[in-house]
Amino acid sequence: QKEVEQNSGPLSVPEGAIASLNCTYSDRVSQSFFWYRQYSGKSPELIMSIYSNGDKEDGRFTAQLNKASQYVSLLIRDSQPSDSATYLCAVNKIGGTSYGKLTFGQGTILTVHP
Amino acid sequence: KAGVTQTPRYLIKTRGQQVTLSCSPISGHRSVSWYQQTPGQGLQFLFEYFSETQRNKGNFPGRFSGRQFSNSRSEMNVSTLELGDSALYLCASSGGTGTGNTIYFGEGSWLTVV
């Protein structure tokens, strides 16, 4: 089992729709969770971070964390063509030898078509 | 506030050569970590430095090494380059302690080994 798994893509949604990206992780010790967006040929850009169970909203983006189910998701409302990118889920464990180490999922390619 | 700065951005090396990449973290950040991104393997953790000490290391051969200076700037070195070392090398900067520790990436260094 991979440490971090994302829903298989690619995901295609029409402009204005809600895009739902999902991620599961295997290590219950994980404490910090991140969503990065990566455009082709560019570096990952931090979109959302979440540390506590529940929802966290930032503009059109909502991150949801459920530690009991070891599940984190990202919702993008009113999707725009400019949201088309690869979305990376990353998990960080705090303490011991795990500081600063992000474990990434394989990424989900999102395409928003006009 | 300046972001994470990586140099050089692009470079081409020949097999057997060595390369040194540099990273300046966000001002005040004491943790610098390095990642390798390839199409086949995705984003993989190389190592992390905090206050000039390597705190964590990924599963890469000894040809990959790094260091951090007292001003938190970091360098990574790859010796005896192989074709498979062609990748995007990313540096990430963070405060380095505790939950809520956001991690930001630089623009990356594109290495091509020929």
State residue B82 phi and psi, 5-degree precision: -115, 160
pLDDT at res. B36: 97
Q: pLDDT digit string (tens) for B50-101?
A: 889 998 899 999 999 999 999 999 999 999 999 999 999 999 998 755 556 7
Judge: B100–A88 Cβ closer than 8 Å, yes or no.
no
d(C-alpha B23, C-alpha B90), whole Å? 9
Nearest CA of chain B to the CA of A52: how many Å?
Answer: 10
DSSP 8-class letter at B98: S
> Measured between beta carbons, which residues in chain A are less than 8 angstroms from residue B98?
94
Nearest CA of chain B to the CA of A21: how many Å?
Answer: 18
Judge: B43–A92 Cβ closer than 8 Å, yes or no.
no
How many other CB atoms are found less than 10 A from the CB of residue A27? 13
Judge: A99–B106 Cβ closer than 8 Å, yes or no.
no
* Beta strands in A51-84, from DSSP E residues, in sequence order: 54-58, 61-66, 71-76
**Residue B92 sits at the chain A interface (C-beta within 8 Å):** yes
Q: pLDDT digit string (tens) for A59-68?
A: 999 999 999 9
| SS3 assignment for B48-61 | EEECCEEEEECCCC
Confidence of residue A46 (pLDDT cuts 50, 70, 90): very high
pLDDT at res. B96: 56
Token code pair at residue A105: 């999922």
d(C-alpha B26, C-alpha A99), whole Å? 17
> Measured between beta carbons, which residues in chain A are less than 8 angstroms from residue B90?
43-44
